[in-house]
């Protein structure tokens, strides 16, 4: 095991895959010479040169489209959208072109494109640079969606994403970039669609992603003092989604709490909850409770931002509510 930051894990995944496969190229706004606005990708430009690593104009449609076209022709582009919020200026290229191209072409094309973007709140970037955007992509069949919560998963999932023949939206949580974690030495791949169970318990199942994983674990600690044990599951990828692990857990606990940072209406929590209430209704012994972004537009002011993003206290209350008999 080696210690590295979430940020370094992104860089290492890119470096390893670019070293391994000459078809991997990487471009985006200021990702090359400057190493990215979040300083996530330093050194790649120097190592792989200006043909394979490129800085682009501020043209998100052109960026994603170039990724789609290059992917169709057999390259494996990794493109960066910088802030995930910017996907909104180019959603057409992502969900109408990249996601559907294989289908529309009757299986002739494949689009091995990886779209990296930093999402999430907590940094005081206000309403247009803080959103969690996974819902847009989950709702678009043809796209895989990764939401790593720690450096090891960043490394293993990003490498898998680049090798995947489907378009993948790879969402990094910007507030986690500096977080450190242990990463296996040598080649480390994490398959898509396999959740990790970070804590086991018998009273409540919590499903959480990215920064909310730590929040869920902290809440579990707190609840443990009262003898309530929580099982905490990190799905790691939302498409595909490992419902088996979640359902098995709910079978045991009878209760489900989802903890996500996205706006309440139509977040992934609703999707997980609904699948459980279809396939797993008979195991459920209490309400399914979602903890989400309250109010749902992210304010700039710190006390307000802290208030709307789920925290330990809100998760603890949600679990207690879920335990209502």
Residue 191: both structure tokens together: 């398959």
Q: Which stretch binds ligand TPP (CB under 6 A): 5-13, 65-73, 82-90, 178-186?
A: 82-90
- Strands in the chain per DSSP E: 2-5, 24-28, 53-55, 76-83, 114-119, 144-146, 168-173, 180-183, 196-199, 204-208, 230-234, 237-239, 256-263, 289-293
Among 233, 290, 284, which Cα is nearest to 257's?
Answer: 290
Q: What are phi and psi of 45, to 5 degrees?
A: -60, -45
Binding of residue 165 to other proteins (CB under 8 A): yes
Q: What span, in angstroms and rounded, lies between the C-alpha atoms of 204 and 228? A: 8
214 CB-contact burial (10 Å; exposed 0-12 / middle 13-18 / buried 19+): middle
Known catalytic residue: 188?
Answer: no
Residue 222 Cβ, how far from ligand TPP at the closest point, in Å?
A: 38
CA distances, 26 to each of 1, 55, 78, 309 (Å): 27, 9, 5, 32
Select the residue interacting with ligand TPP from 10, 68, 82, 155 (CB under 6 A). 82
Cis-peptide into 43, omega within 30 deg: no
Query: Between 61 and 248, whose beta carbon lies closer to other proteins?
Result: 61
Q: Is 60 in the site for ligand TPP (CB under 6 A)?
A: yes
Residue linked to tokens 């050194």: 43
- Selected from 6, 26, 45, 86, the binder of ligand TPP by CB under 6 A is 86
125 binds ligand TPP (CB under 6 A): no
Among 1, 106, 185, 265, binds other proteins (CB under 8 A): 106
Q: Considering only 31-39, 154-162, 200-208, 222-230, which stretch makes contact with other proteins by CB under 8 A?
A: 31-39
List interacting residues with its own copies (CB under 8 A).
Answer: 61, 85-86, 88-89, 91-92, 95-96, 99-100, 103-104, 126-128, 135-136, 138-142, 239, 262-263, 265-271, 273-274, 277-279, 281, 284, 286-290, 295-297, 299
User: Among residues 127 and 248, whose Cβ is nearest to other proteins?
Assistant: 127
Write down the catalytic residue from 129, 188, 307, 321. Answer: 129
CB of residue 224 to other proteins, shortest distance in Å: 28
If the CB atoms of residues 150 and 237 are measured against other proteins, the closer one turns out to be 237
| CA pair distance 230, 105, nearest whole angstrom | 46
Contact footprint for ligand TPP (CB under 6 A): 29, 58, 60, 82, 86, 89
Q: Which residues are catalytic?
A: 129
């Amino acid at each position: 095991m080696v210690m590295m930051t979430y940020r370094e894990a992104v860089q290492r995944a890119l470096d390893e895959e670019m070293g391994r496969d000459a078809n991997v190229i990487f471009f985006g706004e200021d990702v090359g010479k400057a190493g990215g606005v979040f300083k996530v990708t330093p050194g790649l430009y120097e190592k792989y040169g200006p043909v394979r690593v490129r800085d682009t104009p501020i043209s998100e449609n052109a960026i994603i489209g170039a990724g789609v076209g290059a992917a169709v022709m057999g390259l494996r582009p990794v493109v960066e959208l910088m802030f995930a919020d910017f996907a909104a200026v180019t959603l057409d290229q992502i969900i109408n072109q990249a996601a559907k191209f294989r289908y529309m072409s009757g299986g002739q094309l494949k689009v091995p494109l990886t779209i990296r973007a930093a999402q999430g709140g907590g940094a005081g970037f206000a309403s247009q640079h803080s959103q969690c955007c996974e819902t847009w992509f989950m709702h678009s069949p043809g796209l895989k969606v990764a939401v790593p919560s720690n450096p090891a998963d960043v490394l293993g999932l990003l490498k898998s994403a680049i090798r995947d023949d489907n378009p993948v939206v790879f969402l990094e949580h910007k507030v986690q970039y500096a977080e450190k974690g242990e990463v296996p030495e040598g080649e480390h791949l994490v398959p898509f669609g396999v959740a990790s169970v970070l804590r086991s318990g018998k009273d409540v199942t919590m499903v959480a992603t990215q920064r909310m994983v730590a929040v869920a674990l902290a809440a579990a600690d707190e609840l443990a003092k009262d003898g309530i044990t929580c099982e905490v599951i990190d799905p790691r990828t939302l498409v595909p989604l490992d419902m088996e692990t979640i359902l098995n857990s709910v079978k045991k606990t009878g209760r489900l709490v989802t903890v996500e940072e996205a706006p309440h209406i139509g977040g992934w929590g609703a999707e997980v909850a609904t699948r459980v209430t279809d396939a797993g209704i008979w195991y459920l012994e209490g309400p399914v409770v979602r903890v989400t972004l309250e109010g749902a537009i992210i304010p700039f002011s710190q006390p307000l931002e802290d208030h709307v993003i789920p925290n330990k206290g809100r998760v603890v209350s949600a679990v207690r509510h879920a335990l209502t008999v």
